[in-house]
Amino acid sequence: MSRITLFFVLLFSSLSVSANVTVYAASSLTNVMNDIVDAYQDETGERVRVSYAGSSSLARQIANGAPADIYLSANTKWMDYLIEEDQIEAGSKVDLLRNTLVLIASRSTPKENTWQWFIGQKGFRIAMADPRHVPAGIYGKQSLEKQFRWPEVKDHIASGNNVRSALLFVERDEAPLGIVYKTDALLSKNVTVVEEFPEDSHDPIVYPMAIIKNKKSGQVTDFYQYLLSEKAKNTFTSYGFTTI
């Protein structure tokens, strides 16, 4: 066992001992997954633990031996990476959800100001998830490039480890504008949606789900199926996601 693998095994094993199922999920799923897990645990008595982070970080942890049972990514790239690493149970990958990308501003940001006005301000920053690795940032960069905005902002990025970090920057007025998923913006009382990015300006925002290889126990399969159920779909849609 490599040192990296041993590190992740030791780091997470103590946290997952009491859980029957361990899920690694993109940070943009935090609120909705918490609700779904609570409902599932109340119904079944089974314990489910969810670890939230950027999809890229979670995928790398899984590839290095972290004890996840189910992986929910915010894009197909990192799911494909785990498939290439032979980490995914054959036939278990499904496209679960879709989302929308939006430009947000803090409540204190003057509504009459234009995009060009912001660009011209000294010290201007736009918050977004890391566009090199994190799905929300990758989608954001694609859209800005398609709209010919990227050259104006590429040196003014307030980069976060995940989309929730970008949301927090705007909520705290550390950046006047940010790029997040619509589902994240809807959760916050401290930001407003300035515009939705055209769907054809970036790759489709798809959330795939899969079971990690050699983890297909009955309890894992049961929760996996629950996430595909009508009850779970209703919860996803109540948070603004589109089910597939």
Q: Express each pLDDT in 136-186 by its tens digit.
A: 999 999 999 999 999 989 999 999 999 999 999 999 999 999 999 999 999
63-97 pLDDT, tens per residue? 999 999 999 999 999 999 999 999 999 999 999 99
55 marked as binding residue = yes
Q: Is 102 annotated as a binding residue?
A: no
pTM of the model: 0.83
For the chain, which domains are there? 21-98+206-243 (3.40.190.10), 101-196 (3.40.190.10)
Mean pLDDT, residues 12-23: 64
Q: Residue 28, annotated ligand binder?
A: yes
136 is in an annotated binding site: yes
Nearest residue to 241 (alpha-carbon basis) of 67, 202, 131, 233: 233
Q: What pLDDT is recorded for position 121?
A: 78
What's the distance, CA 3 to chain centroid?
A: 28
pLDDT (0 to 100) of residue 116: 74
| Residue 15 confidence (pLDDT) | 44
Place of tokens 């890229």: 56
Q: Is the pLDDT of residue 216 over 90?
A: no
181 labeled binding residue: yes
Directed axis angle between helix 76-84 and helix 55-63, to 10°?
10
